[in-house]
Structure 1
Amino acid sequence: MKQLTIISGKGGTGKTTLTAAFASLAENAVIADCDVDAADMHLILKPLILEKEDYCGLEVARIDPKLCIECGKCREFCKHGAVTEKFEIDPYSCEGCTVCIIVCPNGAISMEKRISGQAFSSETRFGPMAHAQLGIGEEASGKLVSVVRSNAKELAEQYNKDLIIIDGPPGTGCSAIASITGTDLILAVVEPTVSGIHDLKRVLELAIHFMIPAVVCINKYDINEENTRLIEKFCTKLEIPVLGKLPYNDIATKAMLQEKTVIEYAKNSELANENEFANKIREIWAEIADRLIEDPNELNEFNKQKG
């Protein structure tokens, strides 16, 4: 079973557009939406939920009013201001550090689990899908990403799929790390802006650190072709292939409004630039599919050279 993760240094670069398009082109894949803080793959794929499970993230403190003597120790030592004047715990301020439990002289405080979101196993028109939704203001998104990936593996085994396509979260934090560890290939999507170049460097450093092969797609390359050349030069220096350059096009917005992938939308389009855009995605997918069946030792060679 192979795993491909599509990530970017920032949101809005086209990760989900590409992931959904790849899902429509892959023949035997499971889709995993690991952008749990702002999941939106379901807007395109319209999944039919088969199973739902509650996700419990960080534990929060709870004060037993029958045991509390209102001495104020918990409020004094809580650095997060989670203890109210009525000696109740504000669940959105509590960080689960357990200091209040340590200082409470009467054992009135305990930790309890709290539902922080839900994880789903679903069916789409392109096959099984694992996804999740983290509650507003909740933390530990990296743990929920791990749950989604675990569910995706179970779906792949259940339906005899040989590929998992992962829509990763933006950035380089714990949720992004959880979405790439153990995968076979990373596709980094970047726009040719100053911030885009900066964030791409961080993403590729992450890939090199975890010794995961990476390739790059430059989206909206024609909005700043000078920056596009800088990205290509940087990738050449790292020996990381740029698999494709997509021009600026509003086809992604049009397709999403109709709840379709770019590939589906282009089939009924008479505009040459929209069909060309879809064909470029097909070419990128063909390159990725070829690399996923290559010898993983060869794919990792560029990482080994960097020690």
Structure 2
Amino acid sequence: MKQLLILSGKGGTGKTTVASAFIRLSQARAYADCDVDAPNLHLVMQNLPVLDRTDYYGLPKAQIYTDQCIECDLCRQHCRFEAIHVNGTYQVDPFACEGCGVCAAVCPVRAIELKPATAGELMLYGDDRSVFSTAQLKMGSGTSGLLVTEVKKRLMAAAPSAELAIIDGSPGIGCPVIASISGVDLVLIVAEPSLSGISDLDRIVLTAAKFQTPVAVCINKADTNEGNAALIESFCEERGIPFTGRIPFDPMAVQAINTGRTIVDLDCPAGDAVREVFSKTLIQLGKGKSLTILSKKE
């Protein structure tokens, strides 16, 4: 299975818009939304039947048994996250607790225990044609990188015979992005022609390089700043990064998303442009191994 990951150095570049268009164009049998902090791919993809919903357990949380507590205050003094407060009794703030276990270690009467805590939910959708894996992290929960890894594992297990998996990643370069990059065959970076967009493009290229993962770049809303778009193309040329095309700003793209469709479901300039980007990206993805879908789309 070839894995294509779509990333952006920052939020709001149109990463999910491009990912949903790619899924439609490829008629992908396997796809995932690994932006577990704020998943939204499901909003523009056709609903699939629920195959499985599973609670995800991240870091444990401390629990104080007040009937055993002698109020020695050692737990509060040693908590570096200031997660323990006194409000009549000693209590743990679950949003501040990092599950480090120091409080339980210093408690002289063993009145504190680390308990498994639900940090999010894993969701798997599918039918006889396709499988969609995603997850939602609970507000204030951590370990998003581990949750992303679980999303990918469930996708691969549910669709082992799929030729192509398209993965919508998170913005930035943090833990979810690092977990998303691991094991993929190509990263398509959706850049925007702004100063912050150029800076964040550089960061995500360097991040992918740490994993020796090939990258390609396209520009969304390219005509909003022709000068910066030219700088991005020069950036790619100087570093030998494949450039797969420009997608113009298109008000009809907003119309498509607001009605739960992809930009290739409408006859619009953005849809036409993303078809070309898709074709060039598949060529980069297929290097070294033939793809049936590549021959179909050329």
Shorter-chain TM band: over 0.9
Q: Partner amino acid for 2:57?
A: C
Q: Map 1:119-138 onto structure 2 (within 5 A).
A: 119-123=122-126, 127-138=130-141
Is the partner of 2:94 in helix, strand or coil?
A: coil
Amino acid corresponding to residue 12 of structure 1 in structure 2: G
2:285 counterpart of 1:282: no
* Contact kept in structure 2, 1:156 and 1:163, CA below 8 Å: no
Report the AA paired with residue 147 of structure 1: E
Q: In structure 2, give the amino acid aligned to 1:283.
A: E
Structure 1 counterpart of 2:151, from 139, 148, 160: 148
Structure 1 residue 252: deviation in Å?
A: 2.1
- SS of the residue corresponding to residue 37 of structure 2 reads helix
CA-to-aligned-CA distance 1:159-178 (integer Å, 9 cap, x gap) = x3111100000000011000
Q: Corresponding residue for 1:53? A: 54
CA distance in 1, matches of 2:213, 2:75: 45
SS of alignment partner, residue 259 of structure 1: coil
Q: What do residues 133-183 of structure 1 show as CA deviations (whole Å, max 9, x unaligned)?
A: 1111111111110010001101221xx311110000000001100011110
CA-to-aligned-CA distance 1:7-48 (integer Å, 9 cap, x gap): 001111011101110111114431100001000011111333
* Conserved? CA contact 2:191–2:219, under 8 Å: yes
Per-residue deviation, residues 230-259 of structure 1 (Å, max 9, x unmatched): 111111111001101111112221111111
Letter in 2 for 1:166: I
TM-score normalised by structure 2 residue count: 0.92
What is the Cα deviation at residue 124 of structure 1? 7.2
**Cα distance between partner residues in 2 of 1:260 and 1:141:** 28
> Which position in structure 2 is the counterpart of 1:176?
177
Contact 2:253 2:270 in 1 (8 A): no
- Which residue is 2:15 aligned to? 15
* Displacement of 1:277: 2.1
Q: Is the 8 A contact 1:23 1:126 kept in 2?
A: no
Number of aligned residue pairs: give it.
286
Q: Is the 8 A contact 1:4 1:186 kept in 2?
A: yes
Paired with 2:139 and 2:157, the residues of 1 have a C-alpha distance of 27
Match of 1:83? Answer: 84
User: Could you say which residue in structure 1 is the equivalent of 2:249?
Assistant: 248
* Offset, 1:125: 10
What is the root-mean-square deviation in Å for CA atoms of aligned residues? Answer: 1.5
- CA drift of 1:53 comes to 0.6
**AA aligned opposite 1:218:** I
Q: In 1, are the aligned partners of 2:249 and 2:270 still within 8 Å (CA)?
A: no
| Residue 123 of structure 1: how far off its partner (Å) | 2.3
Report whether the alignment pairs 1:97 with 2:100: yes
Q: 1:40 corresponds to which letter in structure 2? A: N
CA contact (8 A) 1:24 1:126 kept: no
In the alignment, which residue of structure 1 is the partner of 2:292?
none
- Would the aligned equivalents of 2:14 and 2:190 in 1 still touch at CA under 8 Å? yes
User: Any conservation in 2 of the 1:216–1:240 contact (CA below 8 Å)?
Assistant: yes
Q: CA deviation at 1:126?
A: 7.0
The alpha-carbon distance between structure 1 residues 172 and 50, as it changes in their structure 2 partners (threshold 3 A), is same
Shift of 1:92: 0.7
Is the counterpart of residue 224 in structure 1 residue 225 in structure 2?
A: yes
Q: Structure 1, unaligned stretches of length 5 or more?
A: 267-273, 297-307
Paired residue type of 2:220: N
